[in-house]
Amino acid sequence: MDQILQHVINAMVLGSTYALLGIGLTIIFGIMRVVNFAHGELYTLGAYTAYGMVTLINLDFFSSILVAALIGMLIGALIEYVFLRRKDLKNIDEVMLIMIGIMIIMQNLELMIWGGVAKIIPTPFSQDPISMGAIAISPTRVFVFCISAVLLVIFYLGIERTRFGLAIRATFQDQDAARIVGVNVKRIYTVTFALGSAMAAVAGALLAPMFVATPLMGDLASLKAFAIVILGGLGSLGGAALGGFLLAFIEEFGASYISSAYRDAFGFLVIIVVMLFRPQGLFAAKERVG
Amino acid sequence: MNWKLFAIFVAILGLFPFLWSDPYVLSVMGSAGIMIIAAISLNLLLGYTGQLSLGHAAFFGIGAYTSALMSLGFDIDIGFGMSWQVDAKPVWMAFATAILVTAFFGWLVGKLAFKVRGAYFVVITISFAQVMRMISLNWTDLTEGPMGMISIPPLNLWVPGEGLINLTSKAAIYWLVLAVGVIAYLLVAMLVNSRQGRAMIALRENETLATSVGIPVTYFLSMAAIISAAIAGAAGGLYAHTVRIIDPDVFLFIYTVTMVIMVVAGGKGTLGGPIIGGLIFGLMPELLRGVVQPEVQWVIYGITMIIILLFLPRGLVPAIYDFIAWLRSPVAISQRKTGHSLAKEAN
Amino acid sequence: MAISKRYLASLLVGTLAATPVWAADPIKIGVSQPLTGAVAASGNYVTNGARIAAAEINEKGGLLGREVELIIEDNKSNPREAVNAAEKLILSDKVPVIMGAWSSTYTLATMPKLEEYGVPMVVETSSSSKITKAGNPWIFRIAPTSAMEAQAFAKKLDNFDPPIKKVDFLSVNNDWGLGASQEFEKMFKANGIEIGRKETVSPDTVDLSAQLSALKGTGSDTLIMTSGVEQLTLGIRQAADQRLSQRIVTTGGSFPEPLLESPGPKGYTSSHLLFFSPWTPESSVYPDIAGAFVDAWAEAGYSFPGLSEGFRGYDGIMTIAAAIENAGSTEPDAIREALWDVQVKGVNGDISFFKDGPEGKESGQNEPNVYVVQLKDGEVSAQ
């Protein structure tokens, strides 16, 4: 029983960051229909930014996360403005290939700058785990969960309660209709890409201290993000959040009780199974948002 | 397609080992050739039928592993105390089996393409390759996992006067790859120029319209997928029997990306595209080896691909054709003849 | 990377300034290592060790009066690339001897080429028994097999307090990890120690919490971990997170350097089997050689913990140099013959080869020394 509870705690922490990653991709994919292969690279960028801030200029950990988010936003906006504006986004294949090109460039730049050796991000928390009976959790993980939860709530409020959020939701539902009522769709695109990228960057900055930062970590992150989007169903932000937790649970329990070697494969298997049997995702129909 | 040009090109390639017999150069050409064959196969699916299949490394890998397993023989435990044992088969039979098995997976993917469209299809095909990688990594009983399969026997050829010789010399491998490459090219060329081919292109351009005029879209898509996978499987088999060691990394996304860059940069949906793209991106790593770090090379490839996608979206081969056509066009000729542009005159 | 380029520049200047102009062509030695990819850290360390050896040889007048030149090829942590690297070295650069290829998988991939072209290779790291049992007479390994490591560790069992009574295993699921757990299991059983649970992990996994949860509460007092630097670090940290009660002993010669700067919880200790301990050079068989190597490494500006693997490159090149010197020739065949008779004093200890493998086609195998160190609160001491 304790074992199960431990797994639940682990899954909740992991799931909260997966939710951030997944929502980031959902808005990009949902609004712009861009198969964003570079999403994982923004995740990696977030991790390395946090690493750089903490080790190179001795910035405190909390501010580093903020900086990671800002950089993610900037790079995301830059990518959208420079590369995606020119293309009619209806050419899914060309846009997708451009994103692959960006992924290659970002990944190898990271390799050039930081080298291939994995980096550990020092955190201000003690390494002593907090015990509650037979369950143990490190302070770092508690912090990660709290921040993720707070960000998810802020995002929810932003989407539901602000005018801007309204514009985003409107574009999500029906671009042309949104354009008719005066939403500046071009600007929404830029904001969406920036916001989605920022969320990926924050997810990276939060997860990296729990593990390590490597230039190749983005590959897996991109694919897991897609698994989450597919799990949650395309049109649903709440679904993506739940999808993030669900994937974490599947991974955690699958690795413990089925096979630890296939841990990362569960995400892919999920994609294949869901696509075959319930392509609209597990939650909500296409049109619902939030 | 221009048969004369093709014949000349093949002849030059065939004579190449006599002009330049350095075994290292030949081995580089051979490796590039295998990737070109894989690119030709991807072009059929990505370029001609417009299916965004990004798991092509899966077909390559399945071909490689199947051929290796059949030629080495295997003995695995399938539970319930039973085992499945297969003795080592003659190499060409293993190679043929690999093509058939991969074709079967191609058929599966073709079926899937209809249930699942667009971006979702892309994600599924990538996942497929990743799952194959995980399986080959963890089912060590069958595949030896990360340790890889070694000592794979080479392909052989019966030569009059010499008997059966193993194709292990660099020149022999080069010609083998060239032969398979020519067969693959011709297969795709004939398919594309036939009725079936035109149907596939119709499918790519506008599926709904194609269906509405009675083209059995499912049938053609399946055919394209099967043939595409079969050729990729052949490339994988060639790889297994020439490099003679394979490991789960053959399924890595980076190999699919390499094939994609070759096809896209060369020109998807053209016959010459994968060849030009394959020559450029297959030989560049060797030319740049030692000159710039691999990471820098990849940044260059990424930038090249993006530039081509933004400014020459149909690829290099169509751009070259366009350029040649422009050179030949009456406007351009008369501009050169009169020495100034007609546009200036019009103003 | 930047540091090594600087080092190479200073090496060039130093060589030009301090030594006479070389009379004849340089002697080329091929090096095949993973400089990029999953195990790049280790590959770079080994290569840097090799560079130090080459510099030292050249400073002392070179080999047979000629300069030693390392031709370094990146095998990109991939067996196919390892084959490419070997072919380029042999066919294009025409090296008469190679050192490589780090991982057992890459070495095994390279071996058929060595036989095809008749070029000997000194294996500096790979530990799979397959390498010397394959019947390839062109292979000479200075690194220990996992079996040797286990036997060497058997002699150190008494250094552990409380004594080891029951062990669990956590290994990377390749040749190396699985082979190591097999050999160590045999050794433990022979010493009356009970075997608990065995878990495996994929080489690129970063989250080992599933495996570690399964290892909690098994009643064992020790957990044997075999993997590379990254996974050892992650495993130890996550084990501490989950409050695993077992003491951790790592094998394979890699050291979790990141834990030096970001240590685990206070008072938490782990033990590590190394083939060279730069923290305790006085425990080496030849402390002056080890000391000189450590100094040269520091002077070149390489990171300190890299010494635990960098020495392999150094010992490897020194072995090759001794063979070339004894053979008096740079023909691959002559070098191979001479390798059988080398007796080198390396950083790890004595290096010489005995016959290993099928009759008539034996490979050369060395019997190296093993050191055990303890890591606590970011400090290392001998165990």
Strands C363-365, C354-356: pairing is antiparallel
C237–chain A Cβ distance below 8 A for any pair:
yes
Share of chain A above pLDDT 70, in %: 90
Tokens in use for C252? 């394979």
Handedness of CA A118, A121, A126, A129 (dihedral sign): negative
Give the confidence band of C119 by pLDDT, cuts at 50, 70, 90: very high
Residues of C in contact with A3 (CB under 8 A): 213, 216
C-beta atoms of B138 and C173 within 8 A: yes
Is B262 contained in some domain? yes
Q: Which of residues 140-199 of A touch C (CB under 8 A)?
A: 141
CATH number at residue B102: 1.10.3470
More confident residue, C40 or A71: A71
The per-residue pLDDT for range B232-265, each reduced to its tens digit, is 999 999 999 988 888 888 898 888 988 988 998 8
pLDDT of the residue at A290? 28
Q: Residue A173: helix, strand or coil by DSSP?
A: helix
A224–chain C Cβ distance below 8 A for any pair:
no
C-beta atoms of B122 and A35 within 8 A: yes
B250–chain A Cβ distance below 8 A for any pair:
no
Distance from CA of B328 to the nearest CA of C (A): 44
Contact A228, A21 (CB under 8 A): yes
Tell me which residue of C137, C141, C129, C138 sits closest to C360, measured CA to CA.
Answer: C137
pLDDT of the residue at A286? 46
Angle between helix B253-266 and helix A92-114 axes, rounded to 10 deg: 120
Distance from CA of A244 to the nearest CA of C (A): 17
More confident residue, C360 or A28: A28
pLDDT of the residue at C269? 84
pLDDT of the residue at B34? 94
Residues of B in contact with A108 (CB under 8 A): 295-296, 298-299, 302
Residues of C in contact with A119 (CB under 8 A): 258
C-beta atoms of A269 and B131 within 8 A: yes
Distance from CA of B298 to the nearest CA of C (A): 13
Neighbour subunits, C (≥3 Cβ pairs < 8 A): A, B
Contact C364, C140 (CB under 8 A): yes
Cis peptide before C256 (omega within 30 of 0): no
Listing DSSP states for B168-181 in one string gives -SHHHHHHHHHHHH
Is B256 contained in some domain? yes
Mean pLDDT value of segment C148-174: 87
Share of chain B above pLDDT 90, in %: 21
Residue C300 to residue B117: CA distance in whole angstroms: 56
Residues of C in contact with B247 (CB under 8 A): 78-80, 105
Give the confidence band of B113 by pLDDT, cuts at 50, 70, 90: confident
Residue C54 to residue C59: CA distance in whole angstroms: 9
More confident residue, B267 or B214: B267
A122–chain C Cβ distance below 8 A for any pair:
yes
Give the confidence band of C7 by pLDDT, cuts at 50, 70, 90: low
Tokens in use for B101? 């098995």
Tell me which residue of B84, B337, B49 sits closest to B220, measured CA to CA.
Answer: B49
pLDDT greater than 50 at residue A163: yes
Tell me which residue of C216, C217, C144, C226 sits closest to C185, measured CA to CA.
Answer: C226
C-beta atoms of C234 and A212 within 8 A: yes
Residues of C in contact with B152 (CB under 8 A): none
What is the rounded average pLDDT for all residues in chain B?
84
Residues of C in contact with A14 (CB under 8 A): 207
Q: C70: part of which helix (H) or strand (E)?
A: strand C68-74
Is B184 contained in some domain? yes
The per-residue pLDDT for range A48-77, each reduced to its tens digit, is 999 888 888 888 888 888 999 999 999 999
Q: Which of residues 168-227 of B touch A (CB under 8 A)?
A: none
Residues of B in contact with A107 (CB under 8 A): 298
Mean pLDDT value of segment B195-200: 74
Tokens in use for C355? 């016959």
C-beta atoms of B296 and A108 within 8 A: yes
Which stretches within chain C are classed as H helix? 2-18, 40-59, 79-87, 104-117, 130-133, 146-154, 175-190, 209-215, 229-241, 258-261, 287-300, 307-327, 332-339
Give the confidence band of A288 by pLDDT, cuts at 50, 70, 90: very low
Mean pLDDT value of segment B102-112: 88
Residue A280 to residue A184: CA distance in whole angstroms: 29
Residue A41 to residue A53: CA distance in whole angstroms: 18
Residue B286 to residue B289: CA distance in whole angstroms: 5
Domain range for residue B126? 20-313
Tell me which residue of A125, A193, A216 sits closest to C262, measured CA to CA.
Answer: A125
Listing DSSP states for B183-247 in one string gives HHHHHHHHHHTSHHHHHHHHHHH-HHHHHHTT--HHHHHHHHHHHHHHHHHHHHHHHHHHH--B-
pLDDT greater than 50 at residue B138: yes
Neighbour subunits, B (≥3 Cβ pairs < 8 A): A, C
Is B153 contained in some domain? yes
Distance from CA of A141 to the nearest CA of B (A): 28
Number of Cα atoms under 13 Å in the Cβ half of residue A110: 30
C93–chain B Cβ distance below 8 A for any pair:
no
C-beta atoms of A263 and C199 within 8 A: no
Distance from CA of C180 to the nearest CA of A (A): 18
Tokens in use for B1? 């397609």
* φ, ψ of residue C100 in degrees (nearest 5): 175, -170
Angle between helix B253-266 and helix B23-42 axes, rounded to 10 deg: 80
Q: Which of residues 282-311 of C touch A (CB under 8 A)?
A: none
C74–chain B Cβ distance below 8 A for any pair:
yes
Residues of C in contact with B140 (CB under 8 A): 173
Listing DSSP states for A33-87 in one string gives ----TTHHHHHHHHHHHHHHHHHHS---HHHHHHHHHHHHHHHHHHHIIIIISSS
Per residue, what are the HEC states of A95-155? HHHHHHHHHHHHHHHHHHHHCCCCECCCCCCCCCCEEECCEEECHHHHHHHHHHHHHHHHH
Would you give the end-to-end CA distance of chain A in angstroms? Answer: 34
- Beta strands across the sheet bearing C379-382: C194-201, C166-172, C222-226, C247-251, C269-274, C371-376, C379-382
- Vertex B252: Cα angle to B134 and A96 (nearest 5): 120
Residue C363 to residue C380: CA distance in whole angstroms: 36
Distance from CA of C192 to the nearest CA of B (A): 30
The partner residue sitting opposite A211, judged by closest CB among C38, C173, C207, is C207
Residue B172 to residue B165: CA distance in whole angstroms: 10
pLDDT of the residue at C14? 56
pLDDT of the residue at A172? 76
The partner residue sitting opposite A268, judged by closest CB among B127, B137, B305, is B127
C-beta atoms of A212 and C202 within 8 A: no
Q: Which of A83-87, B87-91, C20-24 has the highest mean pLDDT?
A: B87-91
Longest dimension (CA), chain A: 59
Is B11 contained in some domain? no
Can you give the C-alpha Rg of chain C in angstroms? 21
Q: Residue B272: helix, strand or coil by DSSP?
A: coil
Listing DSSP states for C201-258 in one string gives E-TT----HHHHHHHTTS--SEEEEE--HHHHHHHHHHHHHTT--SEEEEESS---TH
Best residue of A117, A123, A252 to probe chain C, by most C CBs closer than 10 Å: A117
Mean pLDDT value of segment C325-353: 90
More confident residue, C48 or C281: C48
The partner residue sitting opposite C105, judged by closest CB among B22, B140, B147, is B147
Q: Which of residues 101-140 of C touch B (CB under 8 A)?
A: 104-105, 108-109, 112, 116, 128
C-beta atoms of A268 and B306 within 8 A: no
pLDDT greater than 90 at residue A215: no
Is B97 contained in some domain? yes
More confident residue, C217 or A78: A78
pLDDT greater than 90 at residue B79: no
The per-residue pLDDT for range C257-267, each reduced to its tens digit, is 878 877 777 77
The partner residue sitting opposite A111, judged by closest CB among B120, B130, B295, is B295
pLDDT greater than 50 at residue B215: yes
* φ, ψ of residue A228 in degrees (nearest 5): -65, -45
Contact C346, C368 (CB under 8 A): no
The per-residue pLDDT for range B289-346, each reduced to its tens digit, is 767 777 888 898 889 888 888 888 888 888 888 888 888 877 766 666 665 555 555 5
Contacts of A94 (CB under 8 A, 6+ apart): A87, B309, B313
Mean pLDDT value of segment A20-39: 87
Listing DSSP states for B332-345 in one string gives HHHHHHHSS-HHHH
- C292 to B16, C14, C223, C276, C371: CA distances (angstroms): 53, 18, 35, 14, 19
Which stretches within B139-169 are classed as H helix? 140-143
Name the interface residues of B facing C (CB cutoff 8 Å). 22-24, 27, 31, 137-138, 140, 145-148, 150-151, 168, 243-247, 249, 289, 293-295
Listing DSSP states for A175-217 in one string gives HHHHHHTT--HHHHHHHHHHHHHHHHHHHHHHHGGGS-B-TTH
Q: Identify the closest residue of chain A to B296 by CA–CA distance.
A: A108
Residues of C in contact with B64 (CB under 8 A): none
pLDDT greater than 70 at residue A146: yes
The partner residue sitting opposite B306, judged by closest CB among A29, A101, A226, is A101
Average the pLDDT over each of C134-138, C259-263, C348-352 and give the range with the smallest value.
C259-263
* φ, ψ of residue C74 in degrees (nearest 5): -90, 120
C-beta atoms of A261 and C1 within 8 A: no
Contact C103, C34 (CB under 8 A): yes
Residue A165 to residue A171: CA distance in whole angstroms: 10
How many other C-beta atoms lie within 10 A of the C-beta of residue B322? 12
Residues of C in contact with A118 (CB under 8 A): 41, 229-230, 233, 258
Q: C273: part of which helix (H) or strand (E)?
A: strand C269-274
CA dihedral B162, B168, B171, B177 (to 10 degrees): 110
Mean pLDDT value of segment B134-142: 84
pLDDT greater than 80 at residue C311: yes
Is B190 contained in some domain? yes
Tokens in use for A284? 């909500």
Q: Identify the closest residue of chain A to C212 by CA–CA distance.
A: A256
The partner residue sitting opposite B134, judged by closest CB among A105, A226, A262, is A262
Residue A260 to residue A253: CA distance in whole angstroms: 9
Tokens in use for C356? 């290993």
C-beta atoms of B138 and C36 within 8 A: no
C-beta atoms of A104 and B305 within 8 A: yes
Give the confidence band of C249 by pLDDT, cuts at 50, 70, 90: very high
A136–chain C Cβ distance below 8 A for any pair:
yes
- Total of domains in chain B: 1
Give the confidence band of C294 by pLDDT, cuts at 50, 70, 90: very high
Tokens in use for B131? 């799952």
Contacts of C359 (CB under 8 A, 6+ apart): none
The per-residue pLDDT for range A260-274, each reduced to its tens digit, is 767 777 878 877 787
* φ, ψ of residue C199 in degrees (nearest 5): -120, 150
Determine the length of chain A.
290
Is B319 contained in some domain? no
What is the rounded average pLDDT for all residues in chain C?
86
Tell me which residue of A86, A89, A96, A226 sits closest to B268, measured CA to CA.
Answer: A96
Average the pLDDT over each of A275-284, B68-77, C77-86 and give the range with the smallest value.
A275-284
B187-192 long-range contacts, CB within 8 A, separation 24+: B187/B227, B187/B231, B188/B40, B188/B41, B188/B43, B188/B44, B188/B227, B188/B231, B188/B271, B189/B1, B189/B271, B191/B44, B191/B227, B192/B44, B192/B48, B192/B271
pLDDT greater than 80 at residue B1: no
